Amino acid sequence: MKNIATTLIIILLLASCSGDKKEKGTKKTSFDVTTSKDIKAIKEQRNILISKQQEITEQIKTIDERIDILTPEKKLPLITTFTAKSEEFNHYLELQGNVETKENLIITPEMGGILRQVFVKEGQRVSKGQLLARIDDGGMSQQLAQLQIQTNLAKTTYERQQRLWDQKIGSEIQYLQAKSAYESQEKAISQLNAMLSKTSVRAPFTGVIDDVITEKGSVVAPGQTQLMRIVNLKDMYIAVDVPERYISNITVNKDVEVAFPVLGETHKAKIRQASNFINPTNRTFKVEIAVPNKKRTIKPNLTAQLKINDYTNKKALLIPQSIISENAGGEQYIYILKDKNNDKAVAERVIIETGRTQGDVIEVLKGLKDNAEIIQEGARSVKDGQKVQIISSL
């Protein structure tokens, strides 16, 4: 190949020298002309040089074309490859949810009246059943004292009538009347005690008083006036609505990665409950994910980013999405190597079927074998059956 190129160059040089010899004696040299004052001779010499330059350019082009024919490897497409190997593939459904707790309650009174006392402050920890506030009873405690005196008298009367009746003294009706009066008084006391208990506001569960809303001396209405908020941060969970198409994949005990962007924290968790009811309005079902809160930094209504594992393939073949092309029939294809010899090979187009994607990779379901060498960089510039040169393999 080099001998051919050398020979052609020698031929050109000889032809050029031969032409120069013929012109000697009749024409001045280039040096003589340029130092002379004969403008006509200078222009003629310039035209001769331009003609020779064009002739040499054409001859060099012919030589280059011949070299390309004899060395086809010079213009082979340069590619990089990687080997497809089966690996575990986990697909994650990414959603956004809010932190909730079932023990987050606004306490309202059961009885109306004046709020006489508030026994707790904001931020104070309280136990279940602890007295939080007291509402004025409107004189019911005095009524209870009077009722108790009457009940004591009814009890004494009933006990005496019972002793007489046991001795067959007196009438049965007197005994029954005394018994009925005593039992009626007892029920009245029980009812009044139940009403009085509603004037005491107690903690429904153990937690922290997050906010005292109504101050002492305010008039409160039963079931309407907000007295205070109590929160328990121990049993926290994330509630999220999941589209119904995932109902067979998103189930109890599925792994979940929970990220709190505001806190800069990530936790591993599991689904503790998946609803059996599909909301007809938005075609979703509710899922709950329990989250640990040992540091008590996670608060109700905090935004959480969720990655729920909805699909796993233990032996998946994964490829970059960027190397996939599509033909006119809508079929997806990639290029693999065949007839490999050192750094040279032939590109072969294969039709594939793909599955789920995760990030920049996609799962190949059909058309690709394990350990196949796939063209990566340069995949969109090669053709089926074309010879290629490998510059890098992974």
* pTM of the predicted protein model: 0.57
The reply to whether 39 and 83 lie within a common domain is no
> Which of 67-76, 165-174, 350-359 has the lowest average pLDDT?
67-76
The residue out of 44, 74, 104 marking a domain boundary is 74
Would you say residue 28 has pLDDT above 80? no
Residue 26 domain flag = yes
Residue 250 domain flag = no
Q: Report the candidate in 368, 264, 271 with the shortest Cα–Cα distance to residue 323.
A: 368
Q: Token pair 């008298």 is at which residue?
A: 153
Question: Measured on CA atoms in the order 345, 349, 351, 355, is the torsion positive or negative?
Answer: positive
The reply to whether 66 and 38 lie within a common domain is yes
**DSSP H or E segment with residue 188:** helix 172-197
Instruction: Write the pLDDT tens digit of every residue in 91-138.
Output: 999 999 999 988 899 999 998 999 999 999 999 999 999 999 999 988
342, amino acid identity: N
Q: How far apart are CA 335 and CA 30, in angstroms?
A: 59
Residue 98 domain flag = no
Q: Which domain holds residue 44?
A: 2-74
The reply to whether 325 and 369 lie within a common domain is yes
Residue count of the chain: 394
CB–CB of 118/225 below 8 Å?
no
The reply to whether 43 and 59 lie within a common domain is yes
Residue 179 domain flag = yes
Residue 171 domain flag = yes
Would you say residue 24 has pLDDT above 50? no
The reply to whether 358 and 389 lie within a common domain is yes
Q: How far apart are CA 107 and CA 224, in angstroms?
A: 10
The residue out of 175, 198, 221 marking a domain boundary is 198
Domain total in the chain:
3
Instruction: Write the pLDDT tens digit of every residue in 316-327.
Output: 999 999 999 999
Proportion of the chain above pLDDT 90, given as a percent = 42
CB–CB of 73/344 below 8 Å?
yes
Complete DSSP assignment for 134-173:
EE--TTHHHHHHHHHHHHHHHHHHHHHHHHHHHTT-S-HH
Q: Token pair 């024919």 is at which residue?
A: 69
Residue 110 domain flag = no
CB–CB of 82/393 below 8 Å?
yes
Residue 310 domain flag = no
Model confidence band, residue 34 (pLDDT cutoffs 50, 70, 90):
low
Residue 388 domain flag = yes
Q: What is the residue-averaged pLDDT of the chain?
A: 85
Instruction: Write the pLDDT tens digit of every residue in 252-302.
Output: 999 999 999 999 999 999 999 999 999 999 999 999 999 888 888 898 999
In CATH, what number is assigned to the domain containing residue 381? 2.40.420.20
CB–CB of 194/75 below 8 Å?
no
